[in-house]
Amino acid sequence: MEEVAQETGKRAGKAQSIFRTGDRKDNTRLAYASGVSGFGRVLDQQVSLDSHTNQNPETKNREIEEIRDAQTGNHIGLLSNMWWTDLRAALGQRINVEGIVSSVSVFVKDRHLALPHVVVPDIRHVDWGELQGRGFKGVVFDKDNTITVPYSLTLWDPLGSSIERCKSVFGNDIAVFSNSAGNFGDPYLGLYEYDHNGSKARALEKAIGIKVIRHRVKKPAGTAEEIEKHFGCKSSQLIMVGDRPFTDIVYGNRNDFLTILTNPLSLTEEPFVVRQVRKLEMILMNYWFKKGLKPISHDLLPDAKQCVKDPSPL
């Protein structure tokens, strides 16, 4: 009994000395008590328990263990909050819940939404001048495997001349609208949930010289509201360019864009699951084309072949 009383007395003295020290330790106590881990409250409980020196030793030990469990639980909760956001972001790059739901709907009843107006090997085959002459006012690019290889912050070199031609025709009215950020494993470039201050979007803008439009939900879900606000025109006057039929093309067709599908620039950097899903998407799209399904008609370009050209020799 005397040993327990001496030990608890020492702990109480240590806890009280913490509360009597300077501003730095007071601030530490306040920080913990304000919600980080509830450390201040736990210390108060510790002092309260230790002050009852005549308490039954078994009861005291049980209560002390409960306090220690509470401390451990608080720290675990803090760590859980820190890695849960990162885990959600990493998984989200590979698992697009909105895309899965949309794919089921497209497969069952809206197959025409996955059919692009134009199919080209890459953007070098697109006649930007012809599109601008037809009344289109801007171009929206997907990023990964459309204008950059996956997880890269630089344009794919062979596309440089086509991007410059696009800029010369449309001026500043070109933008990136992407589900992924690419570099350093940062998913959801442009998505507010994972890029609150826009730092990732600005890094890509600086690297490729193209504005990134921030948005709240992943393609193919969502409306064209953010894009129309950026360009100052209706989405029917814009061009959506991407490499995925069930995300970029479905989103574009749902929102009245002219849709252009390109081949992926590189498959070596893509996750295995993404490659398999892409393969399935292409099989379905080609099958529906062969069965005679047609893309949604577009008023500004009834004959999509008019905007396709042979690329200039390098």
Q: When comparing pLDDT for 201 and 37, which is higher?
A: 201
Interval 225-261: pLDDT, tens: 999 999 999 999 999 999 999 999 999 999 999 999 9
Interval 85-105: pLDDT, tens: 444 444 444 455 666 676 777
Band of residue 65 on the pLDDT scale cut at 50, 70, 90: low
Q: When comparing pLDDT for 11 and 182, which is higher?
A: 11
Ramachandran area for residue 222 (φ above 0: left; ψ -120 to 50: alpha; else beta): left
Nearest Cα to Cα of residue 184 among 197, 199, 196, 171: 199
**CATH code of the region 103-307:** 3.40.50.1000
Band of residue 279 on the pLDDT scale cut at 50, 70, 90: very high
Give the mean model confidence (pLDDT) for residues 25-36: 39
pLDDT at 216 over 90: no
**Helix ranges (DSSP H) in the chain:** 2-20, 23-31, 39-50, 57-94, 97-108, 128-133, 160-170, 199-208, 225-231, 250-254, 272-290
- What pLDDT, on the 0 to 100 scale, is given for residue 196? 58
| Residue 240 near residue 185, CB atoms below 8 Å | no
Q: How would you label 80-90 residue by residue, b for 16+ Cβ within 10 Å and e otherwise?
A: eeeeeeeeebe
- What pLDDT, on the 0 to 100 scale, is given for residue 99? 60
- What pLDDT, on the 0 to 100 scale, is given for residue 3? 52
Nearest Cα to Cα of residue 40 among 49, 48, 31: 31
Interval 147-170: pLDDT, tens: 999 888 889 999 999 999 999 999
The greatest distance separating any two alpha carbons of the chain, rounded to the nearest whole angstrom, comes to 95
The pLDDT > 70 percentage for the chain reads: 60
User: Domain boundaries in the chain?
Assistant: 2-92, 103-307
Interval 39-61: pLDDT, tens: 344 334 444 444 444 455 555 55
Interval 109-140: pLDDT, tens: 899 999 999 999 999 999 999 999 999 999 99
The reported pTM is: 0.67
53: which 2 tokens? Answer: 């020196």
Average per-residue pLDDT in the chain? 75
Q: Which residues pair with 144 in a beta bridge?
A: 148
- What pLDDT, on the 0 to 100 scale, is given for residue 62? 57
Each as own residue / partner, the long-range contacts of residues 286-294 (CB below 8 Å, 24 or more positions apart, any chain) are 288/111, 288/112, 288/114, 288/115, 289/115, 293/111, 293/112, 293/115, 294/112, 294/115
Band of residue 308 on the pLDDT scale cut at 50, 70, 90: very high
Integer Cα distance of 269 and 153 in angstroms? 14
- What pLDDT, on the 0 to 100 scale, is given for residue 311? 75
